[in-house]
A and B are shown apart, each in its own frame.
Chain A
Amino acid sequence: MKKLIALLLTGTMVFSMTACGSKDEPATAPAEEQSGETAETESGAAEDAASGDAAAADITLWTYPVGSFGDAATVDGFVAAFNEKYPDIHVTVEYLDYTSGDDQVTAAIEAGTTPDIVLEGPERLVSNWGAKGKMVSLEDLWDEEALADISATSEAVVAACKAPDGNYYEYPFVMTTHTMAINYELFEAADALQYINEDRTWTTENFEKALQALVDYGQTNTGVVYCGGQGGDQGTRALAMNLYSAQFTNAEHTEWTMNSEAGVKGLQQLKDWADAGLLAFDAGIQAADELQLFANGTLAMTFCWNASNQAQYASQTAFTPYAVAFPSDDAVPELAGGIWGFGIFDNGDADKIAAAKTFIEFICDDEVQGLESVKATGFFPVRSSFGNPYEGTEDEERMATFGSFQQWLGDYYNVTLGWAEQRTEWWNLLQRVEQTSDVQAEADLYAETCNAATAAASN
């Protein structure tokens, strides 16, 4: 009897485990077979979205922490607003972080469990997953009106969302420029504010004078070229390339060019400052650590700043964080941009793709929700018709300051193929620059490795 019970229990255990592990196969045909149907459904979805009569579907959204899009309460509110208009589309949200988010997406792609929608920037949506054929073309969202509206703000945004194959894999809604920031009171005490122009730009020469003034004042921890990883690397890239107006890639985004004369001169300048004790390289920290050191007053400046950081760190600092452009030889900086929007993974389910597009249009373009979405990020709308969403709010002054940097928005070279390899090579290059006596050779090695990766990705 005991044996019989044991057998029954074991059988139940095995069965229940098998049952738990099973997964209902979606009742959809393979993607290839559905291509015609998908096209029809996609165009139909756009009409549905316009009429508010979208097909019912359960969709998932994975969001990187772009401003408050990493905050469940905020996003839940947006989903609730969406469901008031489209009650038949059920949206499940999962939150990624920049430490492990890419790994989660990679694992999901290989396991065939990607979400329907993902929120991030062109370097992931377009030049990585899009270029590898994992994303759905968003051509129908980019209608004439959207194209004109976004182009009026920046042609660079449009170009960044479009892959070399001619397809749009991202539908953007916000953008910003990345800057650096200084400790205003410390600069004032060291009499270094005189080196910053009224429009918050400065020359390389004056930047050096400011560093010297800080050191003379007794502030030995001026700034740190953080290179312990890829986090916040847009700051160190912008710093190195602006010093002598170098270009990070060629105009066609097919070649990495920081081994140019101007690029090497900038890297050499950083090394010279470090050797002279005016600045430091630190392979032990990344941008998040550097920001913390800036916020607690250890460092006099940070190279990783933007409107969102200003809002986030405002309450933590006992001084005034003062945003400034990166120094350049001609005081005309070229700032790195950030563009964020939505992409749709090609899961082969036409209904879900249509529902995902409906959701994206609502979050990005809806008269009321569109503005709320922009404000939640703390960045600027890509649509010129949205005007200034911060007008009349407590954020108006802060955002006006950061808005003034938009005029120096540079080329969005992040869409160059081989971007992932380049990111790793960049902080490794900085680590080597600190040690080497031949900056040109190290920059050549960096460019060679990155160009090889780009060539491999292009094939």
Chain B
Amino acid sequence: MGNSLKRNRVLVWRETRAAYLFLLPALIFFLGFVIVPMFLCLFYSFFNYTMNDFSFVGLQNYVEMFGDPIFQKALVNTVIIVVVAVPTVTVFSLWVASAIYKMNAFSRAFYRCVFYLPVVTGTVAVSVVWKWMFNKYTGLFNYVLNGIGVIDEQINWLGDERTALACIILILFTTSIGQPIVLYVAALGNVDTTLVEASEVDGATKLQTFWKIKWPSIMPTTLYILIITTINSFQCYALIQLLTSGGPNHATDTIMYYIYYQAFKLNRYGYGNAMGIFLAVVIAIFSLIQFKVTNNGKND
């Protein structure tokens, strides 16, 4: 009995050894670039780690963080971005995907390309174009709105506290919808047509068919989209760096940008790490809520 068990284990090991070895390079990278830095981040967050100091301060960085008014402002801005961007991206993507997934292959591919283009275009290039469109003096938006008589004076889109964050969310929206649309088109295309036809034969309306058949079927995709959009929104940094530097008057500061500012501009690596840990915890909590709300992505 014992020998048989041992022989089985040897056989299983022989079968899986190659698989593990093939996974090894990826595992090394994952450990080296994700797991180890995560623990280092946690470790350094308890230190006053600067360019010329490395001393243990316990929870001091965390205490300072919660009392830092700029961090609080950045946190509020980040939550606004997430709360606005995630539902709008998800709903809009689903709407577009619903409209195009039944089209012929050429039209479907065309729309997928159109919506995916901002994703594959570099962030810097996208930002430069948007910056030009938002320009107060020579920008497209002011030119058009002036031309049709909607405004009578130039709006400083990125330089006004009232509009800057909305502009960032708009750009984030356009660069975030590409992948969800492609995923939803694929998911909707894979919904069991026999169920849809059966419901239609039973007299279900289009809305009922969507909510009772299609929506549960694409729930795993929805969960994935919710989570990646949430993470992307929480990590909004490049747009801020390229367009507003967190201004005006911290109106577009986000936690990610503030981490960058503290770590790279002021060389306060320990403090930046503490904020990074906090951000990771917040993202985890949001993701957990999404898992619960979407019933772990199950379609039953």
List A residues at the B interface (Cβ < 8 Å): 3, 6-7, 10-11, 13-14, 17, 102-103, 106-107, 109-110, 132-134, 221, 227-230, 282-286, 289, 293, 296, 298-299, 420-421, 424, 427-428, 431-432, 435
Contact = CB atoms under 8 A, between A and B. Distances in A.
Given A133-B52, A293-B137, A229 B247 contact: yes
Nearest to B242: A99
Contacts of A229: 245, 247
B286 interface: no
A420 B265 contact: yes
A121 to B, nearest CB: 17
B51 A109 contact: yes
Contact of A10 (B21, B161, B266): B21
A310 to B, nearest CB: 22
Nearest to A459: B53
B156 A420 contact: no
A221 B137 contact: yes
Given A102-B264, A132-B51, A293-B137, A427 B247 contact: yes
Most chain B CB within 10 A, of A6, A283, A299, is at A283
Nearest to B137: A298
Contact of A283 (B14, B134, B248): B248
A106 B24 contact: no
A6 B22 contact: yes
A431 B247 contact: yes
Nearest to B51: A132
18 contacts: A10-B18, A10-B25, A102-B264, A106-B267, A110-B51, A132-B51, A133-B52, A228-B158, A228-B244, A282-B136, A283-B248, A284-B134, A284-B136, A284-B158, A284-B159, A296-B138, A298-B138, A420-B267
Given A228-B244, A284-B156, A106 B249 contact: no
A424 B137 contact: no
B150 to A, nearest CB: 19
Given A133-B52, A427-B247, A283 B159 contact: yes
Contacts of A221: 137
Nearest to B23: A10
Contacts of A428: 247, 249-250
Interface string B113-137: 0000000000000000000001111
B249 A3 contact: no
Contacts, number: 97
Contacts of A17: 25, 28
A420 B267 CA distance: 10
Secondary structure class of chain A's binding surface, majority of residues: helix
Given A10-B24, A284-B157, 5 more contacts: A106-B267, A134-B51, A283-B160, A283-B248, A285-B136
Contacts of B244: 228, 284
Contacts of A285: 136, 159
Contacts of B266: 420-421
B111 to A, nearest CB: 33
B261 interface: yes
B101 interface: no
A435 B156 CA distance: 14
Given A283-B248, A284-B136, A7 B18 contact: yes
B174 to A, nearest CB: 19
Contact of A6 (B21, B51, B164, B249): B21
Nearest to A4: B18
B261 to A, nearest CB: 7
Contact of A3 (B18, B158, B247, B269): B18
A289 B266 CA distance: 25
B265 A424 contact: yes
Contacts of B18: 3, 6-7, 10
Nearest to A133: B52
A106 B272 CA distance: 14
Given A3-B18, A14-B24, A102 B265 contact: yes
Contacts of A228: 158-159, 244-245, 247-248
Contact of A11 (B21, B135, B156, B157): B21
Q: Which 6 A-B pairs have the closest CB atoms?
A: A284-B159, A283-B248, A283-B159, A10-B21, A284-B158, A229-B245
Contacts of B28: 14, 17
Contact of B269 (A110, A296, A427): A110
Contacts of A230: 245
Interface string B256-270: 000001001111010
Nearest to A6: B18
Contacts of A103: 264
Contacts of A133: 52
Contacts of B138: 293, 296, 298
Contacts of A13: 25
A214 to B, nearest CB: 15
Contacts of A10: 18, 21-22, 24-25
A63 B3 CA distance: 69
Interface string B3-27: 0000000000010011001101100
B48 to A, nearest CB: 11
A131 B159 CA distance: 35
A64 B77 CA distance: 34
Given A7-B18, A132-B51, A282 B159 contact: yes
Contacts of A432: 249
B206 to A, nearest CB: 45
